[in-house]
Structure 1
Amino acid sequence: MDRRDGPGGRGGQRLGVGIGWRPEIADAVAELPGVDWVEVVAENICPGHVPDPLLRLRERGVTVVPHGVSLGLAGADRPDEARLARLAAAATALGAPLVTEHIAFVRAGGARTASPALEAGHLLPPPRTREALDVLCENVRIAQEALPVPLALENIAALFSWPDDEMSEGRFLGELVERTGVRLLIDVANLHTNRVNRGDDPSKALAELPLEAVAYVHVAGGVERDGVWHDTHAHPVPRPVLDLLAELASRREPPGVLLERDDDFPPPEELAAELTAIRATTESAGALPAVDRSTAQTTGVLPAADRAAAREAGPRTSAEAAGSLPPADRTAGPERHPAGADRTAVSSAAGAAAPEEAPVPEAVRERLGIAQAALLSALVAGTPAPEGFDRARLRVQGLALARKRAGIVARVAPELPLVLGGQAYRDAFVAYAGRRPMPGGYRQDALDFVRQLLDAGLPEDPKARRRLRLWWAERAGPRPPGRVTRLVHAARAALAG
């Protein structure tokens, strides 16, 4: 099976300008002008129960791309079959032309390292070494074989580097593409983050990247605190990120550009203004054709005239220019490579399949697993930093992980900030999380946090402590309480308050 087909670069489709779909802005996305496609977090989609707003977008012809965050393809273990199956099911349910994930590890430890299994709750960078690349390539091939549509992988933002890195990021990604044929999702906001936090040169990275393999591009906002750039996805896109988008577009036409926003959602008119700025940036670099805004607003797809013009005059790969490949089909919509389609039909336009490689020795996976487990333990369990790492940067990263965890738990259990007070909750949770790895999901994390507070006789206010005790008792059982039990707990909570 050829792994080089699908959207982006060779044999790809034009996506246009899109936005990350989130339930909080579903109504706004449906009305925003100039939205050609959307991306949805794959883990937030139940394939048998796709949210109605997403289904309505699909019915209008809007392409929906599932974006995974939990595979951990750069980890020491082989990809989890259940997670792959869920990602594949999401692609099928959404009629997606491709799926995307990250070049990151998100968990470590376990049987391979004879140490506790740890979850990061975040995307962490792998070492850029030959052995780590071998493991990543094998994991990518496993994922490609399990997915019904092509796979594209995203570069991530990082607060630190590994002391034994052997390659630049651009070279690392270039060899990954060469060995697996995987597509790339280039996040220019992450390139900016790494420039601030690690001193990386984003122009050098862009020069080294195989831009013909780009499926699409992410842009997002962030904020700088004490010399550290935090990729929050909760702030407007800054000028330096748009400048990097323009630089990429001047080097190679991106098939699509997508705005990510995950929190602190602004009014629809501000989102529309950001999309306009993104389109203007790419158009000024000669990247994307102008879009008929009235058509885009009602249909969510590129007008037929623009699609035809793109096929006639769109930039070609060097192989196409030499006449050895047919022009890339850039028609919009999921019909180009529907989920479950036989991908061999487009292999002639995509290039030869990557050569087979020998299996990665288990000793290599074990060495990588031990190194990643030691690092993750330092970040989430308070153990000493591994030799060679910048300890100050690891402390910043560990604090960022704890704060992110606190925010997610607050969404899972919104009663806790109400009972404790917003700042008191955050301070208490960060102190708890600094030395306690996430146990088994955020619901259990909330329960363990409250249990620890109660065991310590906290909070000091007796009424707040009673309310927490009732909250914990209602949720700590093996199954959710029935209606009568909930009414009793509610009455007790009212009396306690």
Structure 2
Amino acid sequence: MEPMAHLGVGVGWRPEIADAVERLPGLDWVEVVAENICPGHLPEPLLRLRERGVRVVPHGVSLGLGGAGRPDPEKLAALAERAVALGAPLVTEHIAFVRTASPALEAGHLLPVQRTRDALDVLCENVRIAQDALPVPLALENIAALVSWPGEELTEAQFLAELVERTGVRLLIDVANLHTNRVNRGEDPAAVLDAIPLEALAYVHVAGGVERGGVWHDTHAHPVPPAVLELLAGLRSRVAPPGVLLERDDDFPPEEELAAELAAIRATAAIGRPQADGAGAVPRRRPSRGPAAAVGGPSRAAAPAGSAQAGRALAAPAQAAPAPVATAPDPGAAAGEGTSGGGRAGGLEAARTRVGLEQAALLSALVAGTPVPEGFDRQRIRVQARALAAKRASVVAKVAPELPGILGGADPFREAFLAYARTRPMAGGYRRDALDFAEHLLVRDLPADPAARRRLTSWWRDRAGARPPRRVVRWARALAGRAA
């Protein structure tokens, strides 16, 4: 596998710290949340960084490639569009599931994929579909988790190694997530780093968190702890990472503290500045194998001559296939099963069904209050459910900042929203959730203050584009809600 282009040391770009990021000394590149930018209306600070030669990598959070369903073509097209608009050398996503189709539920968070053969088969096929739809290489990130799946068949390292061997995908290793999983799930970060194919490393994430009650919360809102820097040093002792990036999503520190953290990361990873020569060259991934090409989007090889897509595909020579990676024995191999999962109890479609049923049972327990599936740690499920509800309330308050003001402040808003969330799982995005919450209050003739209710009605009408429900409709819905 050809080495990745050298990125250097970067920071997660967020609007709240855009001015500070522009002034950070020695900044080599930035990463943006792909879903938070519009290709035709890039923020001015981001455009200025690009004009300076600072590279920008889009980081997706909503594909859910570890989910039972195939990747959404519209979401893939949107991610591809952002890669083109930013001139990105690669795009990144997560090894996670974020939603289920039946029932239609959204986690609003990255949830861990089962480390089973079924889940690996589904993930590999989804990765191939994504690779064929994207104009640049794809790298996938290991996630942090509070809960463990019962009956797992592979370790984290075995799962990642086989994923790389079967798809040629790159890895984005988050050392803060390795630390989180050490505290929360008893996993050994050194064992993961020893066994994964580090030649597939695209870059590294570093972030802070906090421990409460024996649980590590990967907040991205606290300073990077020494334990995470130690893991970065351990990774550096095994391989020179092409890039390292500091993530910070909330409770942003003063500019000098950000600069000091970046300096500590650069010193720990012993990363120098990128060279100008070949700054944009990134090796092309190997072609995907299996039937994904027939069902995925257009491949890079099929890009029109002279297009931006074709230019990026030809920026570097095609890479050789990686050497075989040692993995756990496949229990189906003796029965003549292929790596596509076609020989295991009904093939890939049956695997998707099994994975989907398991994920739906877990997500329903987390967001809809259904019974906890057998084998899960019930206390951890409760902790995760509370964390999901709190994150949901926090994000809704950010995307609809008028609502706390209408409801009398942050505390009354949070109390009302958490009461709503207990019986109303999120089925769409956070903006849809904010509208549904407002309608839920109006159906119940809330808030009690008539002036506040009028303000809420006006807010809802401006965004929903329709009249709020008539009183008879509100009564009917309220009765139906109580009956449910």
Output the TM-score relative to the length of structure 1.
0.81
Once the two structures are TM-superposed, the CA of residue 223 in structure 1 deviates from its matched residue by 1.4
Counterpart in the other structure of 1:43: 35
Q: 1:451 aligns with which of 439, 463, 482?
A: 439
Change (3 A) 1:425 1:184: same
Give the 3-state SS of the residue equivalent to 2:40 in structure 1: coil
1:243 maps to a residue whose letter is E
Counterpart in the other structure of 1:144: 131
Give the 3-state SS of the residue equivalent to 1:148 in structure 2: coil
Counterpart in the other structure of 1:170: 157
Larger RCO (CA within 8 A; separation ≥ 6): 1
Decide whether the 8 Å contact of 2:281 with 2:315 is kept in 1: no
2:104 maps to a residue whose letter is A
Q: 2:221 aligns with which of 210, 227, 234?
A: 234
1:88 maps to a residue whose letter is A
Q: 2:396 aligns with which of 406, 409, 421?
A: 409
Counterpart in the other structure of 1:78: 70
Counterpart in the other structure of 2:208: 221
Q: 2:261 aligns with which of 274, 283, 286?
A: 274
Decide whether the 8 Å contact of 1:73 with 1:140 is kept in 2: yes
RMSD: 2.4
Decide whether the 8 Å contact of 1:97 with 1:336 is kept in 2: no
Q: 1:365 aligns with which of 352, 366, 371?
A: 352
Q: Deviations for 1:163-200, whole angstroms, at most 9, x for unmatched residues? A: 02111111110111111111100000101111111111
CA distance in structure 2 between the partners assigned to 1:142 and 1:376 by the alignment: 24
Change (3 A) 1:221 1:270: same
Decide whether the 8 Å contact of 2:122 with 2:348 is kept in 1: no
Q: 2:25 aligns with which of 23, 28, 33?
A: 33
CA distance in structure 2 between the partners assigned to 1:123 and 1:215 by the alignment: 20
Pairwise mapping of residues 316-465 of structure 1 onto structure 2 (< 5 A)?
A: 331-333=278-280, 339-340=309-310, 341-342=312-313, 346-348=317-319, 351=322, 357=340, 360-420=347-407, 421-465=409-453
Q: Deviations for 1:450-491, whole angstroms, at most 9, x for unmatched residues? A: 2333444444445434433443344333499xxxxxxxxxxx
CA distance in structure 2 between the partners assigned to 1:181 and 1:117 by the alignment: 31
Pairwise mapping of residues 80-229 of structure 1 onto structure 2 (< 5 A)?
A: 80-109=72-101, 115-229=102-216
Q: 1:54 aligns with which of 37, 46, 55?
A: 46
Identity of aligned residues (%): 70
CA distance in structure 1 between the partners assigned to 2:240 and 2:321 by the alignment: 17
Change (3 A) 1:141 1:392: same
Q: Deviations for 1:61-110, whole angstroms, at most 9, x for unmatched residues? A: 1111111111111111111111111111111111111111000011113x
CA distance in structure 2 between the partners assigned to 1:475 and 1:181 by the alignment: 44
In structure 2, runs of 5+ residues without a counterpart are: 285-307, 326-337, 469-484
Give the 3-state SS of the residue equivalent to 2:61 in structure 1: coil
Give the 3-state SS of the residue equivalent to 1:254 in structure 2: coil
Decide whether the 8 Å contact of 1:61 with 1:333 is kept in 2: no
Once the two structures are overlaid, the 10-residue window that deviates more, 53-62 or 183-192, is 53-62
Once the two structures are TM-superposed, the CA of residue 142 in structure 1 deviates from its matched residue by 0.8
Once the two structures are TM-superposed, the CA of residue 11 in structure 1 deviates from its matched residue by 3.0
Once the two structures are TM-superposed, the CA of residue 448 in structure 1 deviates from its matched residue by 2.0
CA distance in structure 2 between the partners assigned to 1:26 and 1:207 by the alignment: 37
CA distance in structure 2 between the partners assigned to 1:303 and 1:100 by the alignment: 23
In the alignment of these two chains, the number of paired residues is 427
Counterpart in the other structure of 1:68: 60
In structure 1, runs of 5+ residues without a counterpart are: 5-9, 110-114, 292-301, 308-330, 481-497
Counterpart in the other structure of 1:17: 9
2:318 maps to a residue whose letter is S
Q: Deviations for 1:216-261, whole angstroms, at most 9, x for unmatched residues? A: 0000111112221111111111111111111111111111000011
CA distance in structure 2 between the partners assigned to 1:59 and 1:344 by the alignment: 21
CA distance in structure 2 between the partners assigned to 1:102 and 1:274 by the alignment: 24
Decide whether the 8 Å contact of 1:91 with 1:339 is kept in 2: no
CA distance in structure 2 between the partners assigned to 1:254 and 1:169 by the alignment: 20
Once the two structures are TM-superposed, the CA of residue 357 in structure 1 deviates from its matched residue by 4.3
Give the 3-state SS of the residue equivalent to 2:103 in structure 1: strand
Decide whether the 8 Å contact of 1:11 with 1:350 is kept in 2: no
Decide whether the 8 Å contact of 2:163 with 2:169 is kept in 1: yes
Pairwise mapping of residues 291-302 of structure 1 onto structure 2 (< 5 A)?
A: 291=273, 302=274
Counterpart in the other structure of 1:472: 460
Once the two structures are TM-superposed, the CA of residue 303 in structure 1 deviates from its matched residue by 5.1
CA distance in structure 2 between the partners assigned to 1:83 and 1:446 by the alignment: 21
2:279 maps to a residue whose letter is A
Decide whether the 8 Å contact of 1:63 with 1:334 is kept in 2: no
Output the TM-score relative to the length of structure 2.
0.83
Once the two structures are overlaid, the 10-residue window that deviates more, 214-223 or 357-366, is 357-366
1:77 maps to a residue whose letter is G
CA distance in structure 1 between the partners assigned to 2:314 and 2:220 by the alignment: 34
CA distance in structure 2 between the partners assigned to 1:84 and 1:156 by the alignment: 20
Give the 3-state SS of the residue equivalent to 2:237 in structure 1: helix
CA distance in structure 1 between the partners assigned to 2:40 and 2:143 by the alignment: 30
Decide whether the 8 Å contact of 1:103 with 1:154 is kept in 2: yes
CA distance in structure 2 between the partners assigned to 1:273 and 1:410 by the alignment: 31
Once the two structures are TM-superposed, the CA of residue 48 in structure 1 deviates from its matched residue by 2.3
CA distance in structure 1 between the partners assigned to 2:396 and 2:355 by the alignment: 30
Decide whether the 8 Å contact of 2:283 with 2:318 is kept in 1: no
Once the two structures are TM-superposed, the CA of residue 141 in structure 1 deviates from its matched residue by 0.8
Decide whether the 8 Å contact of 1:18 with 1:257 is kept in 2: yes
Once the two structures are TM-superposed, the CA of residue 116 in structure 1 deviates from its matched residue by 2.5
